[in-house]
Chain A
Amino acid sequence: MTAISLRNVDISYGDTKIVHGATFDVAEGESFALVGESGSGKSTILKAIAGLAPEWTGDIDVLGQSRGHGVDYRFASRCQMVFQDPYGSLHPRKTVDSVLTEPLKIHGIGNRDTRVKDILNAVGLDQRFRFRFPHQLSGGQRQRVAIARALILEPRVMLLDEPTSALDVSVQAEILNLLKRLRAEQGLTYLMVTHNLPVVGFMCERMAIMNKGRIVEIAPSTALHDGSFGDPYSQSLYAASGGNPDLKEIV
């Protein structure tokens, strides 16, 4: 079954068309990456799926149901998003506890105390962080809170918008390992935006390479090892990111 399916999706902001004819499928349980340079429209696709970029045409299906153009109350418990900047994605005046309790209140889910404790354990945050404000947390801890907030409604599809690019390298590895473990434990589907090819190799099975608002190629992540990209742009992107370090040594 396909978790996410896009058919000929054009997305625009006002009069400017950002994405042209995006078409791809993500299977349930798969981890799929959108890669490309800045401004290629990767994040915009994520926003359109989430409902934050409402001006699009074409078909977007998530878990077999077609998406409307805005944010949707029922959609919230099936698909959630983790944002790029953990410094901007948490309300500065709310404790971790209220950030995590609010989604449960919105959806009228009970047993909140246990759920908050469980989700903190799941994302590897100690219980003593529960009543801290964001300014009392490090970047990595904030991103864990953001991941916990996205997971607390138990969605099956996660949209990840460069979840590690604002973090320190050592913390990046921690967050990537956490995301990988959560996916294995809960059988989540990931659609991940990144411009970091090693992250794709670590996290994803397939990727779509984007250039100037178009998907130029959909390739398996094994292509990152053997360099078997078909499109010239993909090859130049691959070369720019250093290619395969193993191959380079041989040459």
Chain B
Amino acid sequence: MTTRQWLLADSPSSKLQANLGRGYRMMHALLRNPLAVVGMVILLVLIFAAAFAPWIAPYSPIGQNLGERLLPPSFEHWMGTDELGRDIFSRVVYGARITLMIVALVAVISAPMGLLIGAIAGYFGGWTDRILMGVTDVFLSMPKLILALAFVAALGPGIENAIIAIAITAWPAYARIARAETMTFRNSEFISAMRLLGASHARIITGHVLPLCTSSMIVRVTLDMAGIILTAAGLGFLGLGAQPPLPEWGAMISRGRTFILDQWWVATMPGFAIILVSLGFCFLGDGLRDVLDPKQGGKS
């Protein structure tokens, strides 16, 4: 029996095989969507660049060379140099690390937080729901960037504080989704059956409610990644995110603004990187939606 046959077996013989088979079918469906594949390739390149930055980048990202200030893109400097003679290509490659860290940390902090708050509110309803959703609405009613700005202003500028600020502003949307999703099945018979079997509320929420919310959450988080990158870049642009000389893409654009008319490449190159990565996340998110949520996606 080949691995493929084992994965697609009609009657799996173990829990592991059943779950792997489900994962394989999803992966297969995802790979049939060309845009999702493009998105995955872009993200793989981002991860690759972040992991092997010291080997890919031809120059140091922070080493200054004032003799080579503001050189246009050439064979030596693929993306030109900035006002301190630093190689922009090297800085963009190292910037992938910062972007990836921001994205990963925000997802790790805000998605589970929103998921849990939303699931609890939706499952219990009543006063629990009113209080939790009241708090969520307060956060949701403020513009993301402004709220993040306020947090960074209070906590002090820096990349860690920027991450915390973005995470704090990102969770309410996830809580709303998880709550809506939970409410669609909180009175369904499989939940009632579990209660009759004596399962505790904690067991039902973690074991039965959350697994059903995660797929729409994964889709939403992936689609939001572009916005998170832009918020991080926005904070960097305003000088409240990563501090010099860290090669953060938003901060790089901010520095290039001064020369945008004569030396366009200084601001444009990191801008391209932001666009490309945001696009990659959007493509992947769209593809994931078709695979994980057949109700919404156009199933072709």
Contact = CB atoms under 8 A, between A and B. Distances in A.
Contacts of A106: 197-199, 203
A226 interface: no
Place the interface of chain A in its size category.
35 or more
A89 B196 contact: no
| Secondary structure class of chain B's binding surface, majority of residues | helix
Interface residues of B, number: 25
A91 B22 CA distance: 15
Nearest to A101: B15
A136 to B, nearest CB: 8
B198 A71 contact: yes
Contacts of A131: 11-15, 17-18
Contacts of A219: none
Nearest to A92: B212
Nearest to A74: B198
Interface in A87-123: 88-95, 97-98, 102-103, 106-107
B18 A81 contact: no
B15 A81 contact: no
A60 to B, nearest CB: 15
Contacts of B189: 83-85, 88-89
B297 to A, nearest CB: 17
Contact of A76 (B10, B14, B198): B198
A239 interface: no
B208 A103 contact: no
B211 interface: yes
A52 interface: yes
Contacts, number: 78
B188 A88 contact: yes
A102 B11 contact: no
A136 B10 CA distance: 8
B197 A102 contact: yes
A86 B208 CA distance: 17
B298 interface: no
B143 interface: no
Contacts of B212: 91-93
A97 B195 CA distance: 18
B18 A133 contact: yes
B207 to A, nearest CB: 7
B199 A83 contact: no
Contacts of B208: 91, 94
Interface of B: 10-15, 17-18, 22, 188-190, 192-199, 203, 207-208, 211-212
Interface of A: 50-52, 71-77, 80-81, 83-85, 88-95, 97-98, 102-103, 106-107, 128-129, 131-133, 136, 146, 149-150, 153
Given A102-B194, A106-B199, A128-B11, 18 more contacts: A50-B196, A52-B196, A72-B198, A74-B198, A80-B196, A80-B197, A81-B196, A83-B189, A84-B189, A88-B189, A88-B190, A95-B15, A106-B197, A131-B11, A131-B13, A131-B15, A132-B18, A153-B197
